[in-house]
Structure 1
Amino acid sequence: MSYLKFDKTVMINLEESLTREVLRTNRKGAYHCTTVVDCNTRKYHGLLVMPVPAIDDDNHVLLSSMDETVIQHGAEFNLGLHKYQGNNFSPKGHKYIREYSSETVPRTVYRVGGVIFSKEKVFSLYENRIMIKYTLEDAHSATTLRFRPFLAFRSVKSLTQANGNVNQSFEEVTNGIKTCMYPGYPELYMQFNKKVKFVYEPNWYFGIEYPKEQERGYPYQEDLYVPGYFEVPIKKGESIIFSAGDSAVTTTRLKSLYEQEVDARTPRTSFFNCLKNSAQQFYFRPKEDDAYLLAGYPWFKVRARDLFVALPGCTLSIDDPVRFEKIMSTAVPALRAFMSQNSLDPVIRELEHPDVPLWAIWAIQQYAKAVGVEKARELYADFVHEILEYISGQKHPDMKLMDNGLLFANGRDKAITWMNSTINGKPVVSRSGYIVEFNSLWYNALCFYTELVGGAPVEKYDKIIKALDKSFPETFINGYNYLFDSVSGSTVDWSVRPNMIFAVALTYSPLTRMQKRSVLDIVTKELLTPKGLRSLSPKSGGYKPYYVGPQYERDLAYHQGTAWPWLLGAYLEAYLRVFGKGGVPFAERMLISMEEEMSLHCIGTIPELFDGNPPFTGRGAISFAMNVAAILRVVDLLKMYNAE
């Protein structure tokens, strides 16, 4: 029985099936993404979406979709599905679907009269290539398959319209063709593992619509170019493999290449395996010697804070410390270059944000827990010391160490924290001064360094720690026993926000047990939802729980009430820290709501955020690294507590 399986009743109901998406990625930043019924609902969807560095640093949709047609006795049954104006869907191929599963690879089973036909898709890990395996499971008479490719050759940020600039030429290659719509793009090779007939019949398909873009207030209609169609006979029990990529493939090897890719996958047979599989999809290696984590799909790039926050969960929690080390071997030089030369990295964005070095130390702390302090000391002690010296030496342009040991950061006119939405260049949530999670991370970093170098207090840092023991609670604890979000002179932010949870969740904290309990209680009462912590309490002014509408409306809501799963990870870690093994049943119950997400939205992963009010609908990016990593870390923590 497949863990991720949907029957006919779900698949033929477009209200259900169009909300479920599937994502497959490779290490080069390319991906395949669509809905479970293969109807594209976003401009980011496509069978082959890949970077084209010769044009820009965005991904580009080359092959948007493929319509398959089953032909018997001259009758044609088109299995494709596109949305057109007026809520019209054509050719309505979903009505033939009998089941869909996505345990190892996405698999769709169709029934057309006496024909039972399956389609399986795999995306190559190290090449920009999608392979689709078509199998005729059962048929009572001669059967022919027709394949009609829909081409876009555009950025994921734009839409294409019918035009006369398209290069309509093609060239035959082994068992297929290659073509390129516009200069600057790579050739698209479309090949099969057996000889096929290609019929040149160039046409535009007009007015295809993407409802997700319409919901978000963006242009949502485009025209797609179809150069013609492929035809091939298929026998009962036979499998045919199709390949689309930016390079030619040896067609006689397609079967073995397909099987190798399938064997490399983690079967998604459990909640943990789904999260593990999802974590591995964020790995990014644009060059042989580099290693990164993408912040999310389909539109995020590599972001410094996200990288360090997600790194332990996406590597250590799935027992892959070598991957952690490889990614750090790329990230550490980038951060060092910024600290020493104020040099920004071309791949890792937002290195200049003040809390990034503190999250880097936190990531190393998790590595020390996983593999041992001695190994962490050997690899990273010098780097941690450099960060502490950089911060204490007042070298960051937007953050200063004050005499009371607290860090003061300037975020009045620009977004410097993870709450980074802006309108007209100004932060929606202006967080400036003593910022609560910055100083929680700072205290934790100083204490961890003492542990890292062998436990003997380092006089310079020990003095700061002792100052923080007094100044942190004096500055942040208010009369209602929760923590101010930020303090700048006489200006304090009384908003109940989730950032205070880090003062409880981190290994080292300047709070007493009773103070931690009070903070946890307030967070539980006002911020906890089944899908994460709200970014703002419903009791606070400006609460906006629904992340919907055009960009402006969504920017206003982004951190003003939406719920974030990565914060649920911090909350559950804090809960277990306060209640110990007695908190395990509660943490396990909370994870049930996250496990439900495996069969919703983008199946097998966790979206960027959720509405802060019921029904807590998933929004934003369909797969988000910090969220996946945080829940993996909780699963890992629970294993540890249950083993005691």
Structure 2
Amino acid sequence: MKWRYGKQDWKTLERGQENCYLMTNGLGGFSSLTVTGSAARNDHAFLMACTKAPNNRYNVIHRLAEKLDIGNETYILSSQEFADGTREEGYRYQTGFSYEDTPVWQYLVNGVEIAKEAAIKQKENTAAVCYRIKNRSRSAVSLTVTPFYQFAPKGEEPAQENRVMYTEGCVESGGMKLYYRTDGCDTEMPETEEAYYYSYDVCDGRRSTGRAKACHRITMTVESGCENILSVVFSTEDKYVKGNNTAGQIKSVRDLAESVIDELKKTRRELEVTAGLEDETARCLVKSAHQFVSRRESTGGETILAGFPFFEDWGRDTMIALPGICLSTKRYEDAVSILRTFARYEKNGLMPNLFPEGKSEPMYNTVDAALLFINCVWLYYKASGDLAFAGEMYPVMERIIEYYMRGTDYDIRMDDDGLITAGSGLDQVTWMDVRVGEILPTPRHGKPVEINAYWYNALRIMGECARLLPDKCADGKNADEYDAAAERTRRSFEEKFWMEEHHCLKDVVSGTKADSQIRCNQVWAVSMPFTMLEPDKERMVVDTVFEKLYTPYGLRTLEPADPEFKPVYGGKVLDRDLAYHQGTVWVYPLGAYYLAYLKVNGYSESAKTYVRSQLEALYGALREGCIGQLPEIYDGAEPVMSKGCFAQAWSVGELLRVYEALERTAGRKQHGFCSSIS
């Protein structure tokens, strides 16, 4: 899917900063600027390098300033807001922007056409940019590109005392070096500092300004009636330095830059082929999914980054995102690598919510990640047929169940009724995990609905695995014991969660007013592979969720009629946190809703047609914000502009699962979906 934008999309600089592109390198590094080439956030960067995958990230090249000289006239091509209120307004000369596999900007100035294309190399902190200059004017023209550097940890202000020092082919600051090659004329210049205004950080109460420095400029002159290409390659590795080239048989900077661009395009097209999905939007999401998969140096395996530009890899997010990011795309090796990593870090039946960095220990404050780990192993087996891997994971899965039954950290334990209770005090153990000082805006201590849906699902999976792997359960529970535990959970769940007057499920069983709040968490009690409710009640849950919580871009976290509903997400941290789960629209539960809708309608062709028609709204979501990506959240009242992370892994993954179900699901049992009575 090729996304095209024109001058109508940047009538003003503000409009031109509404949308951005994203390219990632599989190490945690990325490149992201707006469609007009500006940095509208402190996390925007032409090259955000990662020195230790995936979280030690440095904003190295913040932006590229560009100007064109035609005769005695100078035209600024770059766009940027500055802290003193001034602006560069190069968008006035910009005629187009497109993004499919790489971002391409187009400019036209008095008979001179310029097409700029950039790419980032996989598994390296390397970025390339090519400017194709076609001079149809009567004068010689000169294009000058000035990189502005930060060399600062992601999200932090560069140290004022850090100078940016130039030597030919290398820029250094704060002990960090960036190498580059170019076929333009590279000239040292006095250190120059710019101060920026970040309009998209201001609206979220984040740091509003930032700085970057330049110490050299790169120029290419093109005579009248001629064409040429200005190429620049930047890298934290010195192998691309002139005279030290070990990158194959590449002989010129242009060949090197174009190889980076071509390699990225080839990689992304291969992802589409491997996934084998037919729908155009689904193929776009397959490539978007790839951007979240990253190496994790501390574990030596793959991981899934929760979201760009803010988040790292979290256990809960990974387990929710993995089925779509890896299984719907047929990236089975990545799925195995990720699950093996989590299996190694299982502790007291829990999975890490945050992995270790340096000498720090993993954090295990999540009740859902371990149960979803069992679900991921099952879905992997159903997708790949790899029973041996399920056998490898079986002992870990057994430990999870045993610890949940007898009790583990964070007050996670099975109660006498067979249901899981979790959390106390200021614990934050479900995905609605905001804490503001001593306040939990959405306290869910007790028996959360989705946790018990995951628990029942895990028990049923263990029963199935015990039957498939009888040699693995010789010293543990057998299939009948797991089935009996599941049946007890099912009876208690229906008795304690069902609200007949509302035709839906309680959000939590805690004895507080939070119990009867209508939230989106109940949808997972219908969408999981194994579920507990009678078919008519499942249908009522789906209909109630649609009536009270559904929007085309996601599900509201709280119904608008609730007194605690917050219609807008934004402002200072406190304001954002208080609204985060109090009505704010989240994209990722939409996947579970559509899967639940298809299920209760028997995956009929009419149901599939209906879901496809509703999914058409995603085209607008994919075009807005981060191009080709799905965001984290929207406002609860009017979900018209993406907020939070502009690219969120579980949003992409869960919607990919819907497209996969539309194309590949022939029936319920064939694909592992069962209710309590099937």
TM-score, normalised relative to structure 2: 0.88
Residue 242 of structure 1 pairs with residue 232 of structure 2: yes
Residue 263 of structure 1 pairs with residue 266 of structure 2: yes
Residues 178-577 of structure 1: matches in 2 within 5 Å? 178-183=170-175, 186-192=176-182, 194=183, 196-205=185-194, 207-234=195-222, 236-248=226-238, 249-250=240-241, 252=251, 254=253, 255-256=255-256, 257-258=259-260, 259-266=262-269, 270-287=280-297, 289-334=300-345, 336-337=346-347, 339=349, 345-346=355-356, 350-372=363-385, 374-375=387-388, 377-454=390-467, 458-480=479-501, 481-489=503-511, 493-577=515-599
Change (3 A) 1:129 1:297: same
Contact 2:567/2:638 (8 A) holds in 1? no
Helix, strand or coil for the counterpart of 1:493?
helix
410-419 vs 122-131, which deviates more?
410-419
Quote how far apart the aligned CAs of 1:470 are.
1.4
Change (3 A) 1:157 1:492: closer
- Name the CA distance, whole Å, in 2 between partners of 1:224 and 1:341: 40
Residues 100-139 of structure 1: matches in 2 within 5 Å? 100-139=97-136
Q: Which amino acid aligns with 1:561?
A: G
- Name the CA distance, whole Å, in 2 between partners of 1:341 and 1:435: 18
Helix, strand or coil for the counterpart of 1:291?
strand
336-345 vs 543-552, which deviates more?
336-345
Change (3 A) 1:509 1:298: same
Contact 2:323/2:653 (8 A) holds in 1? yes
In structure 2, the gaps of 5 or more residues are 243-250, 273-278, 471-477, 671-678
Contact 2:548/2:559 (8 A) holds in 1? yes
- Name the CA distance, whole Å, in 2 between partners of 1:316 and 1:483: 30
Quote how far apart the aligned CAs of 1:73 are.
2.0
Contact 1:70/1:146 (8 A) holds in 2? yes
Change (3 A) 1:468 1:610: same
Contact 1:27/1:126 (8 A) holds in 2? yes
Contact 2:553/2:639 (8 A) holds in 1? no
Change (3 A) 1:15 1:298: same
Contact 1:4/1:101 (8 A) holds in 2? yes
Contact 1:390/1:396 (8 A) holds in 2? no
RMSD: 2.6
- Name the CA distance, whole Å, in 2 between partners of 1:253 and 1:591: 46
Quote how far apart the aligned CAs of 1:444 are.
0.7
Change (3 A) 1:190 1:344: closer
Helix, strand or coil for the counterpart of 2:188?
strand
Quote how far apart the aligned CAs of 1:394 are.
2.2
Residue 93 of structure 1 pairs with residue 117 of structure 2: no
Alignment partner, residue 591 of structure 1: 615
1:545-569, Cα deviation, whole Å (9 max, x unpaired): 2111111111111000011111000
1:181-232, Cα deviation, whole Å (9 max, x unpaired): 224xx2022321x252313222222x42001121122331233212132223
524-533 vs 489-498, which deviates more?
489-498
TM-score, normalised relative to structure 1: 0.92
Q: Which amino acid aligns with 2:81?
A: K
Quote how far apart the aligned CAs of 1:277 are.
1.3
1:493-527, Cα deviation, whole Å (9 max, x unpaired): 11001111111111211211111122112111101
Identity of aligned residues (%): 26
- Name the CA distance, whole Å, in 2 between partners of 1:342 and 1:315: 19
- Name the CA distance, whole Å, in 2 between partners of 1:466 and 1:85: 63
Q: Which amino acid aligns with 1:71?
A: D
Alignment partner, residue 47 of structure 1: 46
Alignment length (residue pairs): 630
Contact 1:584/1:641 (8 A) holds in 2? no
Q: Which amino acid aligns with 2:509?
A: V
Residue 18 of structure 1 pairs with residue 7 of structure 2: no
- Name the CA distance, whole Å, in 1 between partners of 2:353 and 2:543: 42
1:163-184, Cα deviation, whole Å (9 max, x unpaired): 4x23343212xxxx3122224x
362-371 vs 569-578, which deviates more?
362-371
Quote how far apart the aligned CAs of 1:295 are.
0.5
Among 646, 654, 657, the residue aligned to 1:622: 646
Quote how far apart the aligned CAs of 1:159 are.
2.8
Helix, strand or coil for the counterpart of 1:427?
coil
Quote how far apart the aligned CAs of 1:590 are.
2.0
621-630 vs 256-265, which deviates more?
256-265
Helix, strand or coil for the counterpart of 1:110?
strand
258-267 vs 342-351, which deviates more?
342-351
- Name the CA distance, whole Å, in 2 between partners of 1:111 and 1:469: 66
1:442-481, Cα deviation, whole Å (9 max, x unpaired): 0011111222232696233222112112111111112323
250-259 vs 294-303, which deviates more?
250-259
- Name the CA distance, whole Å, in 1 between partners of 2:190 and 2:348: 54
- Name the CA distance, whole Å, in 2 between partners of 1:349 and 1:113: 59
1:60-87, Cα deviation, whole Å (9 max, x unpaired): 2111111122223243222111113575
378-387 vs 580-589, which deviates more?
378-387
- Name the CA distance, whole Å, in 2 between partners of 1:73 and 1:292: 52
Quote how far apart the aligned CAs of 1:415 are.
1.4
Contact 1:284/1:294 (8 A) holds in 2? yes
Change (3 A) 1:52 1:80: same
- Name the CA distance, whole Å, in 2 between partners of 1:641 and 1:461: 27
Helix, strand or coil for the counterpart of 1:454?
helix
Residue 171 of structure 1 pairs with residue 167 of structure 2: yes
- Name the CA distance, whole Å, in 2 between partners of 1:574 and 1:195: 57
Quote how far apart the aligned CAs of 1:599 are.
1.1
- Name the CA distance, whole Å, in 2 between partners of 1:528 and 1:246: 46
- Name the CA distance, whole Å, in 2 between partners of 1:262 and 1:133: 15
- Name the CA distance, whole Å, in 1 between partners of 2:123 and 2:265: 13
621-630 vs 349-358, which deviates more?
349-358
Helix, strand or coil for the counterpart of 2:467?
coil
215-224 vs 400-409, which deviates more?
215-224
- Name the CA distance, whole Å, in 1 between partners of 2:584 and 2:36: 29
In structure 1, the gaps of 5 or more residues are none
- Name the CA distance, whole Å, in 2 between partners of 1:587 and 1:431: 31
- Name the CA distance, whole Å, in 1 between partners of 2:666 and 2:487: 35
Contact 1:296/1:624 (8 A) holds in 2? yes
1:572-614, Cα deviation, whole Å (9 max, x unpaired): 1111110121421221122111222121111000111111222
